[in-house]
Amino acid sequence: MVKQIKNILVPLDGSKNSIRGLDQAILFARQSHGTITGFYVKKYPAVFVLHPLGFLGVDLTKETKKILGFAKVRAAKKGILFKGTSLKGADPGFDIVKFAHNKKNKIDLIVIGARGLGSVKEVFFGGVSNYVVHKSKIPVVIVK
**Helix locations, 33-124, DSSP H:** 46-49, 61-76, 92-101
% residues pLDDT > 70 (the chain): 78
Give the lowest-confidence range in 15-24, 51-60, 75-84. 51-60
Domain ranges of the chain: 8-143
d(CA 69, CA 15): 14
Tell me if 38 sits within 8 A of 10, measured CB to CB: yes
Check if CATH label 3.40.50.620 holds for domain 8-143.
yes
Long-range contacts (CB closer than 8 Å, 24 or more residues apart) made by 44-53: 44/88, 44/89, 44/90, 45/90, 46/90, 48/90, 49/88, 49/89, 49/90, 50/90
d(CA 95, CA 44): 12
Digit-coded pLDDT (tens) for 40-53: 987 666 555 455 55
Residue 110 three-state SS: strand
Would you say residue 87 has pLDDT above 50? yes
Would you say residue 66 has pLDDT above 60? yes
Digit-coded pLDDT (tens) for 107-117: 999 999 987 44
pLDDT of residue 59: 56
Count of H-run helices and E-run strands, the chain: 5, 5
Q: What angle do CA 81, 84, 87 make, to 5 degrees?
A: 165
Task: For the sheet with 35-43, list strands across it.
Answer: 82-89, 35-43, 7-12, 109-113, 140-143
